[in-house]
Structure 1
């Protein structure tokens, strides 16, 4: 028989379920900061790789190593016999037979070191990626959902190695004095794709997942779409720049704004079949690069004017930096052409392309994930 309870007696009640909050905060977040620093290191190495690759092309050094040895090739020639053996391999390719017959061993060493350094940087990047990925994976510090993204970077890096050798083989036979320009464009284009992914991932890891989810709700769709279009146009311009570099087209028509006194270069479409002119005719290739550059500047100004109406100050600043770099890059391009693409101007122009590419991506990211700000802005 149950006992009577006093009205003053505390009655034990079952704990009711309490709504859970902050699920994203408590979820396993991984080591976002260290992973970001690791990607920043790879980003810096890729930028150096692109610049060294540009110098390798400008110094005609890309064909100095005629074999692909991913592991043993990390060691350069040491003895005089080793150097002589490498030089003899180079003497068998068209570039030496048709252009550098009077080259000495010491001159060969100069171009050899550029290409060796370029390949060595590729090995370092692969090693840094592999050690970092395996280390974070074993320590279970990779943020949730990020393993496929980081694996993609490694896969693209491996593909870049194969594309690089595919590019080099185009200059080892026939009557080629350098690598095929379209293969060079693919090689450089893939480098910028890798750089683009690195930029985006670094920006994402610079903020917490909960911040990105909240920011995405207030994204500026139209501005993000315009930024995406500008990104694609910039990528096409980068590919055209690679075609210009591949055939030294920047050194043939050095007047501006005209080309050899006219708007259109003289005697285009002289190469058979017709499609080869768009890759191999110096005048036509430089003309396409110029026109794409003008179009890029116009489109960038339109996007910038739209971005000025953004209510977010950080977004406006990102697009201000973007338009400033694109205008500077146009000036660098004009100066490079008018001085017949000397080494220092040409490499500055390539660095400008890297900065413009990164700033376009940064502005696009700001439109997709605007920073929170006060009502006053």
Structure 2
């Protein structure tokens, strides 16, 4: 394997000089990023199950180091159970559970937290190794260091979310249900999905760059000279912009799902496509004045959008349908002769994968709604949202240019000796 410091010829202002090639990210780094993204995918799913089983409020303290070990003796279990008995959730909902019942929800939340710590360890330590050994460029090191900081922030945000469900003020609010803030839940999920996207997208791009640098086609294009021409085509550029918009829409729809989960809005209107026998609930239900807190009602619209379970479910339906239709339209475009001839072959295939995953996700979402949010279906639906985003990211990777290091190394390898 050629060293990233192989000398290559470059021409500037008519002068020839020797310059070191930029560092090309090697396959072990790409595999580490994809493994890390898989762990984040897993923690998102486990976090969804934790919420669905109402286990998230079982651990009442945040102990990043000592909390790695669960209670090991009966006395330790009793101490944790006594702490839980002081929470609003126990007093209002679970006052009759036994210590064995408590253990099951405790282990669910403990597993979620331990998996989060594992992600931190398996990301930060290899990152330090790759950076010290100069396996990755300074730019990549800084980008990955930013992700490492976000992992730590995610842990703190997770505790900030849990604290909202432990607040004693819930005991003084008539009709209050002990649960975490839907705003903090959405932020927690959103950051996790952003972490996943950063790891997965960077890993996929690194693999493609490495293969291209060593002679492989780029997104199915056999001629390296054709890449710039294809990606500069206005039709392809417009398609790429639409693909970015679709990825953003998938992310936004997933965030809206967090509000549905946080408010248990999936337990309302368990039918599809209608809601109470009509396409949309009555206007006074969607924009109920009961949710406004300011005297002049100026917060009526946004509080209903984020705090009214009926409106939250309706908005999620609208976003989900919009995402599905947008995916279908993007896929349909690939059958137009002009675009079909211009798109890289792998991009056409990737678009089909996105549409296929969108169909799976729609079926999971409808089934989850109709069957009153059973844990297996709801967890699969949350996993499906990340899988759909993965497909959208892969499509974007097929539409990007090879990295500078990959381009230069490929040119060096093609020069006659």
TM-score normalized by the length of structure 2: 0.80
Quote the residue 1:250 is aligned against.
266
> In structure 2, the residue corresponding to 1:20 is in which secondary structure?
strand
> In structure 1, the residue corresponding to 2:165 is in which secondary structure?
coil
Change (3 A) 1:89 1:216: farther
Quote the residue 2:201 is aligned against.
200
Of 268-277 and 329-338, more deviation after overlay is shown by 268-277
> In structure 2, the residue corresponding to 1:206 is in which secondary structure?
helix
- Where does structure 1 lack aligned partners over 5 or more consecutive residues? 1-18, 371-377
Quote the residue 1:108 is aligned against.
102
Could you report, residue by residue, the CA deviation over 1:69-122 in whole angstroms, capped at 9, with x for unpaired residues?
A: 111111111111111111111111111111111111111110000100000001
Quote the residue 1:128 is aligned against.
122
CA contact (8 A) 1:307 1:315 kept: no
Structure-to-structure mapping, 1:218-367, within 5 angstroms: 218-219=230-231, 220-266=236-282, 267-268=285-286, 269=288, 270-273=290-293, 274=300, 275-308=302-335, 309-310=339-340, 311=342, 312-367=344-399
CA contact (8 A) 2:25 2:206 kept: no
Change (3 A) 1:27 1:103: same
TM-score normalized by the length of structure 1: 0.88
**How far 1:142 sits from its partner (Å)?**
2.0
User: How many residue pairs are counted as aligned between the two chains?
Assistant: 353
Aligned CA RMSD, in angstroms, stands at 2.4
Q: Distance in 2 between matches of 1:45 and 1:277?
A: 35
> In structure 2, the residue corresponding to 1:287 is in which secondary structure?
helix
- Where does structure 2 lack aligned partners over 5 or more consecutive residues? 1-7, 12-16, 171-176, 219-223, 294-299, 403-417
**How far 1:26 sits from its partner (Å)?**
6.5
Q: Distance in 1 between matches of 2:360 and 2:74?
A: 47
**How far 1:348 sits from its partner (Å)?**
1.1
CA contact (8 A) 1:237 1:292 kept: yes
Q: Distance in 1 between matches of 2:396 and 2:383?
A: 20
Could you report, residue by residue, the CA deviation over 1:314-336 in whole angstroms, capped at 9, with x for unpaired residues?
A: 11000000011112211211111
Change (3 A) 1:245 1:49: same
Q: Distance in 2 between matches of 1:90 and 1:307?
A: 55
**How far 1:216 sits from its partner (Å)?**
5.5
> In structure 1, the residue corresponding to 2:139 is in which secondary structure?
coil
Q: Distance in 2 between matches of 1:343 and 1:217?
A: 49
